[in-house]
Amino acid sequence: MVTSAAVEPLIATRDPERRRVERAMGTMISLHIPDGGASSAVADAAFDWLYEVDRRFSPFRPGNEVSRLMRGQIPDGEVSADLAEVLEIADVVHILSDGAFDIRRHRDDGAPDPTGVVKGWSIDRASTILQAGDITRFYLSAGGDVLVRGGQAPGIPWKVGIGHPEARDAVALVLEAENLAVATSGTTERGHHIVDARTATVADELLSVTVAGPSLARADGYATAAFAMGHEGLRWVDSLPGYAAAGITHDGRLVTTRGLERYWA
């Protein structure tokens, strides 16, 4: 997924116990822990997981499971439990979007390409690792997608800024939340390239779509599907329990669904 840049958390710090940035899955992963612990064994385990995902799910590593799946060397029904979970998420988004989202749309041979769902899914799992290790307040971002838990301080929610697709230094929208996943799909880096799989046409009604909700894996898939669907996609997200969306039009207008109002800063 191509994302608009997310604003870093309000509490900026160079303290290595509170902020850690590493590269994995082809992007920068940033972890901010206001209570400290960014260099702890728990944080190490979360980053180790992300590096494991990079090894196992990158399509650029020819011997791993995903590469073999994409070459048709493994049937869908014979994949590992982790890959099966990723494929199930993709299938759910495909069904709910009436086919607008389809991980097989890029492939002439119909083989699935699950890479568009992997990042959000892996960040959800990293969040679970952190919480299981008693790190309950953090801001975790990956290539513009964000997952926050707890607040940046007691009673103070995190601020999540969504970058404008046509101005890298501008913020189109700021959300406040203590527990939220936010994913953006749009034209920032690669222009109009997302295809509505129902019609095989490139989506061009909007410049970007941001989806917020409890799961980054779902928000990631929903944002791509909604962008492919255009204005119809915003109405579609509004019908999904627990999720809300915002879109930016070609004339610079911000269009939001009703559920997003509770997160406005």
Q: What is the pLDDT of residues 47-59, one digit of tens each?
A: 999 999 999 999 8
Q: Which residues lie below 8 Å from residue 62, measured CB to CB, with a gap of 6+?
A: none
Closest CA to 195 of 107, 105, 115: 105
Q: Looking at residues 97-124, what average pLDDT do you find?
A: 85
Residues in the chain: 265
Query: With pLDDT > 90 as the criterion, what percentage of the chain qualifies?
Result: 68
**Among the residues of the chain, which ranges form H helices?**
41-57, 65-70, 81-96, 115-132, 216-229, 231-238
Contact status, residue 173 vs residue 32, Cβ threshold 8 Å: no
Q: Are strands 145-149 and 180-186 parallel, antiparallel or unpaired?
A: antiparallel
Q: Exposed, middle or buried: residue 4 (CB in 10 Å: 0-12, 13-18, 19+)?
A: buried
Residue 108 pLDDT? 61
Plot region of 127 (φ>0 → left; ψ -120 to 50 → alpha; else → beta):
alpha
Residue 196 pLDDT? 77
pTM of whole model > 0.85?
Answer: yes
Residue 198 pLDDT? 85
User: What is residue 215's DSSP assignment?
Assistant: -
Q: Looking at residues 249-255, what average pLDDT do you find?
A: 91
Contact status, residue 70 vs residue 113, Cβ threshold 8 Å: yes
Contact status, residue 90 vs residue 215, Cβ threshold 8 Å: no
CATH of 19-263, one of 3.40.350.10, 1.10.3720.10, 3.10.520.10, 3.40.50.880: 3.10.520.10
Strand segments, DSSP code E, in 165-243 are 167-177, 180-186, 195-196, 201-202, 206-213
**Residue 66, amino acid:** V
Q: Exposed, middle or buried: residue 23 (CB in 10 Å: 0-12, 13-18, 19+)?
A: exposed
Plot region of 113 (φ>0 → left; ψ -120 to 50 → alpha; else → beta):
beta
Per-residue pLDDT tens digits for 181-226 = 999 987 655 545 678 788 877 778 899 999 999 999 999 999 999 9
Question: Mean pLDDT, the chain, as a whole number?
Answer: 88
Residue 4 pLDDT? 42
pLDDT at 169 over 80: no
For the ranges 63-77, 82-96, 124-138, the lowest mean pLDDT is seen at 63-77
